[in-house]
Amino acid sequence: MSALLAALVPAGTFYPVFLAFLALWIGGRALARRFVGARSWATWTRAFEGGVLAVLIFAMVGFAVLQIVLRNVFHAGVVWIEPLLRYFVLWIGFIAAIVATGRLRHIQINVIGRLLPPGPRLAVTRLTLAVAAAICAALARGAWVYLADEQSFGGTAFLDIPVWVLTSVIFAGFALMSARFAARATEGGESLSTLLREGETDGA
What are the sequence ranges of the domains in the chain? Answer: 2-43+104-203
| pLDDT higher than threshold 50 for residue 86 | yes
Q: What pLDDT does residue 76 have?
A: 84
Query: Is residue 188 classed as helix, strand or coil in its secondary structure?
Result: coil
**d(C-alpha 180, C-alpha 29), whole Å:** 10
* Banded model confidence at residue 62, pLDDT cuts 50, 70, 90: very high
Measure the CA dihedral 173/177/179/183, to 10°. Answer: 150
Q: Is 166 in contact with 75 (CB distance < 8 Å)?
A: no
CA angle 201, 97, 164 (to 5 degrees): 175
Which comes out higher in pLDDT, residue 119 or 152? Answer: 152
Q: DSSP per residue over 33-69, as a string?
A: HHHH-HHHHHHHHHHHHHHHHHHHHHHHHHHHHHHHH
Q: Is 168 in contact with 144 (CB distance < 8 Å)?
A: no
| pLDDT higher than threshold 60 for residue 200 | no
**d(C-alpha 104, C-alpha 99), whole Å:** 9
Q: DSSP per residue over 138-156, as a string?
A: HHHHHHHHHHHHHHHHT-B
Query: Is residue 111 classed as helix, strand or coil in its secondary structure?
Result: helix
Q: What pLDDT does residue 128 have?
A: 87
Query: Is residue 75 classed as helix, strand or coil in its secondary structure?
Result: coil
For helices 118-153 and 11-36, give the axis angle rounded to 10 degrees: 120
pLDDT digits (tens, 9 = 90+) for 149-193: 999 888 888 889 999 999 999 999 999 999 999 988 887 665 666
> In sequence order, what are the residues at sequence separation of 6 or more whose Cβ sits closer than 8 angstroms to the Cβ of residue 195?
103, 104, 184, 187
**d(C-alpha 110, C-alpha 137), whole Å:** 22
Smallest CA-to-CA distance from 181 within 81, 97, 67 is with: 97
**H-type alpha helices, 74-188:** 81-102, 111-115, 118-153, 163-166, 168-185
